[in-house]
Every structure is written in C-alpha cells, then in structure tokens.
Structure 1
Amino acid sequence: MSSSQNCSVLPQDVLFEILSRVPVKDLMRFKCVSKWWNHLVSDPTFVKLHLQRSSKNTHILLTFQGIINQKFELRLYALPCSVQKLVGNPSATVKSSRSHRFKLDYAVLGVCNGLVSLKDSYIGDEFSDHWVRFWNPSTRIMSEDSPRIRLHHGDYKGPLLYKFGFGYDDRSESYKVVVLDYKSEKMEVRVHCLGDNCWRNTLTCDVFPIPAVCRGAACVSGTMNWLGLAKSSSGYQKQELITVKDLEIFSYDLKNETCSYLSVPDGLSVAEVHFAQPALEVFKGCLCLSHQHEGQFDVWLRREFSDEKSWFKFLNLSHGSPEFSICGFSIYIAVLCVSENDDFVLLANQSDSEFILFNRTDNRIERRYNFKSANSYFYSNDYVESLVLPYRN
C-alpha cells in the first residue's frame, strides 16, 4: 500500500481497519481527502477485506422489466436497505430506492460480489453478436464492452440457441461469463473472464435442452447451474409437458472447467408440468427450485450443494385458496426474499403485477401490494455493496 503522507494522526493500519467497515457511498466521498485515501479504495487488499465485511450485510438487487411510457424498459433497483424493510413494505421501498435504467437489449446475467453482468446483442440476417459489460451499482463504475462472441446462423440446424451465466472462481479470483452454445448435436461451453480480450472454448458435451424463458444460471459454490431435460427423458425432443423424472440440472464447475449432472428433489410432484414452468435460482445462498403443479406453488432448497439428499421443501402455496385464485400456465411467481427469521417470504406474482407477502408460520397470505404497472416482471439477486472494480486493476 502507498506510504504517502495522509492528513490523519492515526496510523495507516488503524485507518485501514476502521475504513474497511465504512459504507461504499462514504468511501467514495472520502477519495478527495488525500492521495492515500484515493488510492485506498482501489487497493486490492483493502477491497477484499471490505467485501468480506460487507458480505455480512446482504441487500437485495431487484431487476424490473416492464412497460414504462409505452416502451419496454429494463430497470435495476439497487436497494441500500435491510431485507426486513423490503419485506415490510415492498412498494414504498422500491419507490424510494435508487434505480438505474437500461435499454431493452440489455439482460442481467447475474450478480456476484457487488458486480452486475449485463449482456447486449446485435441480431443480423446471417449472424448475431453478443457482448457483456460489468457494472458496480455502488460505485457507479461500468466497464467497457467485452470482446464480441459471434454466432453464425448457418452453423445451426434449428433456431439459434444459447444460454449465458455469470459467476466467480475463487481459485483464480476471476469473474467469469459462461455461454452454452448449441450447435448440431453438441453443446460448446465458452468462457470470458473479466479483463480478458477473448472467449475461450473450455468444453464440448452433449446438448442439454433448457427452457427458452430461463433467466440465467444459478451460481452456487463456484458452479453455474441450469435446469433442463435429461437426454434419457421421453420429453427430450418434444419439450412440452414433462414429469419430474425428465428434469435434471446441468452444473458447470468454474474452477475445473468440467460439467456434471445433478438430481432434482425426490419429493417433487410427478404431475405433468409445462417445460417452461420449473425455475432454478439462488435463494438464501442455496440452490432453489420453484415449481407450479396442480394448483400448488412449491419452493425447494438444497442445503448442501454437494449433497443430493439435502433438498427440503421450504414453501408450499396453494393457488386454490379464495384469496389467491390463479389458474392456467400464464402465472409466473418469483421468490424475492425472506425475513431474517424465515417467517415471511416476499413473492412477485408476475401475472397480476403484485407483490405477495406470505406468512410461512400460519401458511397464509399476509398482504398484497400492486406493482402499479401492467406487464411488469420483478426478479431479485442477493447483493452486497462493494468496491470491486468492473475491470482488471
């Protein structure tokens, strides 16, 4: 660390400890105090220590996509508040939060250590280009565009199929964007690391069908995970109505650049569901599988990522109750967050544009809050305010 003179009588090691507990917003203001303070906020050792301490104070980053002034718009809400505040009054909390708007072409691939990965695309007649940016909402610093990955339409027998994900490899301490590229009967796995000038082809394996509506990968324990169809399933080709035995999780290990296949919960309903209905996400730091079937909405969590028997049912909500009547496959419910004692779960009912506060203790809906916007979609990611730079230092 720089030994430049600073204006404080406190030793630098003491300042280092004190400032590592200060919120990002204040640290950004302190940069103008002196050259030493300005250098501190980007010092790798300090950034790492600050992240370790910030990680104990998790916030929520909401992604909102809907119609604003008759135009589709992607809006990110970075909520510098406790989860309890969001659970207590989501509509007011969102309304008073800082929001960031992006054009529709951008998609949020994931959130990790305070960094958000955004993807943009160009779709031409003969090829499509895709590129990413990394953004830190707390410091408001965004990277330049990554190199483009070009997909030539003639390389595909059917429609263009690809899936993206974003995660962190703690072995190499690198942030990685992964794309699953479907070509013919094989699937190529390509990786771009933050700061690199290329995309690497790391793996080629059998095609793994994933729903078109899949938002992205669920990143847990250094792996990226997508829910889809096992190749041995009867619904592999048709991809419409399937049963639990057809489902499997494709898991890509960011450290070893290998893949494996994980099982879904044994207790999952065997009733037929639409291929696009089950959703795989991260919730409470665990792999989370939400599933709609026969008038029910279930949420399963996998306590230990490496233990396939650690799945347990976290939530069961009945669509058939008088206060919550929803039918058909048009509904999509997103799990946003849970109160500190796990008693209350905040859901987003995308079909009716409303937040739902569900009481797990009494197994009933506590309150409902309207989005105040039709055709709106809310999603959430665990988020910590950090000083992590969206480019290689």
Structure 2
Amino acid sequence: MAYSSTIPTLPLDLLEEILYRTPAESLVRAKWTCKEWNGLINKKRFIYEHLRRSPERFLRVDQTVQVLDLVNRTRSDSPIPDELQPSLSNIIAMVHCDGLMLCIWSDKECYMFHNLALWNPLTRHFNVVEPRLSRESQRFLINDHFGIGYDVNKPRGDYKILMFSASHYGQAVVEIYECMSKSWRTLDDSKVNWEVYTSRQSASRNGVSVMGNMYWLVKKKTRNYILCFDFSVETFKEICFFRDLPYDNNYLGCFEGDKLSLLQQNEDQPSPIEVWVSSKLADGNVSFTRYFSVASPDLPALRFFTYWGYPAHCIIAKHKRIVTWYDRVSVGLILCEIDEGGVSNQFVTPQHYWDDCVIGTFFCGYVYKPSLVPLP
C-alpha cells in the first residue's frame, strides 16, 4: 500500500522521468492507475518522447505476434489480428513507423490482389485501408508499392500512406492516403521509372521509414539508387547512387535514427558480410561509406533460401555490431550478434510451424518499437 500511495505524490517531472523509463507494455496497464497518470501517458508530447527513448526490438508474425527484447532476450506473444488470420502465409511486407506497422498482404484466393492496413501491435488496434473507388480494379495490385511517413513541418501524428505503381514505360500512378481524413488523392504529373526490387519477401521491397520519409533500394536501367519519397513536399528524390550491388541479399535499415544502413551478404557464400552506413539524411548530399565487414568461416547465411523470409537485424553503432534474428528449420529462430570478430552470443528461441512444415519460414522479422501512438 505504501507504494501506491507514495508514487502519485512525486513531483511531476520526477514522475515523468520514471514513466519514460518504463516499457510501453507496462504503460498500457499503468495509465489506468489514476487520472493523473492516464492524462500524462495519453499526452502527445509524452507519447513521442517515450518513443524517442525506447530501444529497438524485433517483431515477427507466425502463429502469434512475437516481440523480442534485445537487451533482456525475452519474448512476448500476443494474438494475431483477426484480419490477418486467413492470410498469414501471404504477408508480403510490413513497414514500421513510430510503433505503427503498415501491413501489406495478398488475398488468400488470389496473390495478384493485395490488402493494406495500419496496425499498432501494442494496443492491438488494426485499421484496414480501402483502395480508392475510382481505381479501375478497385483493388491494390501486385505491382503496387507502399510507404508511410509524415510532414515534418506539421504536428506529429498526421500520417500519410504512399502508393505508387510503375510500368516499364515510365508511366505511373502515385497516390497519397491521408490517414486523418481517410481519403486518397492523386499526385499530379507524377512519373516513376524505377524498378523496386520486388521478389517475394524481398529484403528491399519493404523500404524503411526514417524521420518521416520513405527509402527504397531501386534499379533504374543498369544503375542502383536509394530512392526517397519526401512526405513534406510529396516528391521522389534519388539520394544516392550505387555503382553495383554484387551480393544476393541487401538489407536496408535505419541507423542511429537519422541515417541509413545497408547490410550485404551472398546467399551461397555467406562470408563476408559488409555493412555500409550513410551520412545524415538531413544534410542533403547523402553518401555511403563502408562501416565494417566480417569475414569468418562460421558466418551463417541469414537468409538460407531465396524464398525464405528475411531476418530482422539492426546495427549497433557503439560496438560496430550486427544483432540479427534469423530462421533455421529444425533448429529454431536464432538471435545472435556479429562483429568483426565473428559470431557471438547465440540464443535459440522457439518457432511455431504449422503441422511441422516450413511455412513459418515465409514470415519475416522487422525492427519495431512498441509505442502508445494511436491509430489516426
């Protein structure tokens, strides 16, 4: 009783500091402790500051929604949204932004048609995004690509979803979905003549959302670029050119909150692994430099077969280290660290396969931050 009667009498700044250090999962329960806590935890300022301070985790959808704490190496499981239940093996991609996941999955009946939704795994809210009724098919199609972000010049929380579809002739359809008004609009005079790497469960298909903008690895004729969509000015930008990409698997990610990382590995010959990082995205002239590489005979192939789901990974700048969570049939889901010295701290987590088959390998891992950001 002393605990419950003492905590609410703390100075507000001290109480805030304690709650900032509290995991988001605990805040969901804590906000019902009293009106003062509920009011504080629901404030937009508090929600986004707590998000900024929160460490990254890994998320994976199999027979449950699995969130892996990278520090404590503990995993929590929660139910899968009802809307995803019939089509678990057809999940195409997810994009993370502020604790929200933009989910793209194909119809159970026809892989040519896709579905779109915005999901907060922590609060378990799930909103399906319907396509524009004026579209000829009135469906999202296999060649449609998606991203999520926001205008950095406006109050945080006014999220937008991008949909673009390119053809080999350079003609494109580019549309923006305003999450607050739940309405689509077409961008005028928009042309897209890039080819986004689009093999099933491609590591590059997802793209990555960083500081309100979307980034993809794309090919234009024979050249490779990092393509950006700036949600503030609603335009595409080619921000960086790669002369060649000699590796089979290229994993684009966020690095230190304001940069990009690119992890590269050959599928058949897993050694070496190379990690490249960009300069600050806000600086304008973005360039990549090789951060470090690992050459060791014990390096695992993070994606053992092309049709398998790609691994979750993040780059730890302080120690030049890769933390990854990847799949091995008959072994389990393996969490390990990889640095210039090789592989260390391996830890096997259980996997949930349907009927002991390998369908679970189709499910990808994603970097994720649990947050109290409400669905718009």
Please report the TM-score for the alignment, with normalisation by the length of structure 2.
0.72
CA contact (8 A) 2:218 2:225 kept: yes
CA contact (8 A) 1:84 1:339 kept: no
Counterpart of 2:298, as a letter, is E
Indicate the residue corresponding to 2:160 in structure 1.
176
Matched, 1:225 2:204: no
CA contact (8 A) 2:131 2:139 kept: no
Counterpart Cα distance in 2 of 1:164 and 1:300: 24
Counterpart Cα distance in 2 of 1:39 and 1:325: 48
SS in 2 for 1:28: helix
Q: Highest CA radius of gyration, 1 or 2?
A: 1
Counterpart of 2:65, as a letter, is L
Deviation for aligned residue 1:161: 0.8
Taking structure 1 as reference, are residues 378 and 315 closer, same or farther at Cα in structure 2, changes over 3 Å only? farther
Indicate the residue corresponding to 2:178 in structure 1.
193
Matched, 1:202 2:187: yes
Alignment of 1:185-334 (within 5 A): 185-202=170-187, 204-212=190-198, 213=202, 214-231=204-221, 233=222, 246-265=223-242, 271=246, 277-285=249-257, 286-293=259-266, 295=269, 296-305=272-281, 306=283, 308=285, 310-318=287-295, 321-324=296-299, 330=305, 334=311
CA contact (8 A) 1:109 1:164 kept: no
Counterpart Cα distance in 1 of 2:338 and 2:34: 50
Counterpart Cα distance in 1 of 2:104 and 2:30: 32
Deviation for aligned residue 1:22: 4.7
Taking structure 1 as reference, are residues 283 and 334 closer, same or farther at Cα in structure 2, changes over 3 Å only? farther
Matched, 1:76 2:65: yes
Matched, 1:365 2:350: no
Deviation for aligned residue 1:313: 1.9
CA contact (8 A) 1:358 1:366 kept: yes
Given the alignment, which residue of 107, 115, 134 partners 2:100? 115
CA contact (8 A) 1:76 1:99 kept: yes
Given the alignment, which residue of 335, 345, 350 partners 2:322? 345
Deviation for aligned residue 1:304: 1.4
Matched, 1:61 2:58: yes
Counterpart of 1:177, as a letter, is I
SS in 1 for 2:194: coil
Structure 2, unpaired ranges of 5+: 1-6, 352-357
User: Pairwise CA RMSD of aligned residues?
Assistant: 3.9
Identify the range of structure 1 (192-201 vs 46-55) with the bigger mean alpha-carbon deviation.
46-55
Counterpart Cα distance in 1 of 2:47 and 2:323: 29
Counterpart Cα distance in 2 of 1:325 and 1:106: 25
Taking structure 1 as reference, are residues 192 and 134 closer, same or farther at Cα in structure 2, changes over 3 Å only? farther
Taking structure 1 as reference, are residues 59 and 186 closer, same or farther at Cα in structure 2, changes over 3 Å only? same
Deviation for aligned residue 1:216: 1.3
Please report the TM-score for the alignment, with normalisation by the length of structure 1.
0.70
Given the alignment, which residue of 32, 41, 45 partners 1:48? 45
Counterpart Cα distance in 1 of 2:108 and 2:136: 10
Counterpart Cα distance in 2 of 1:356 and 1:386: 23
Report % sequence identity: 19
Counterpart Cα distance in 2 of 1:228 and 1:9: 55
Indicate the residue corresponding to 1:69 in structure 2.
none
Residues 30-85 of structure 1, C-alpha deviation per residue, up to 9 Å, x if partnerless?
A: 4445555544443xxx23234214422313132245xxxxxxx5x43234x4x333
Matched, 1:145 2:128: yes
Taking structure 1 as reference, are residues 112 and 257 closer, same or farther at Cα in structure 2, changes over 3 Å only? same
Counterpart Cα distance in 1 of 2:182 and 2:97: 21
Deviation for aligned residue 1:253: 0.4
Deviation for aligned residue 1:322: 3.9
SS in 1 for 2:48: helix
Matched, 1:85 2:72: yes
CA contact (8 A) 1:24 1:387 kept: yes
Deviation for aligned residue 1:288: 1.9
Taking structure 1 as reference, are residues 9 and 380 closer, same or farther at Cα in structure 2, changes over 3 Å only? closer
Deviation for aligned residue 1:252: 0.7
Counterpart Cα distance in 1 of 2:347 and 2:18: 40
Taking structure 1 as reference, are residues 290 and 322 closer, same or farther at Cα in structure 2, changes over 3 Å only? closer
CA contact (8 A) 2:322 2:337 kept: yes
Counterpart of 2:103, as a letter, is L
**Number of residue pairs the alignment of both structures matches:** 337
Counterpart of 1:317, as a letter, is V
Structure 1, unpaired ranges of 5+: 1-6, 66-72, 87-92, 234-245
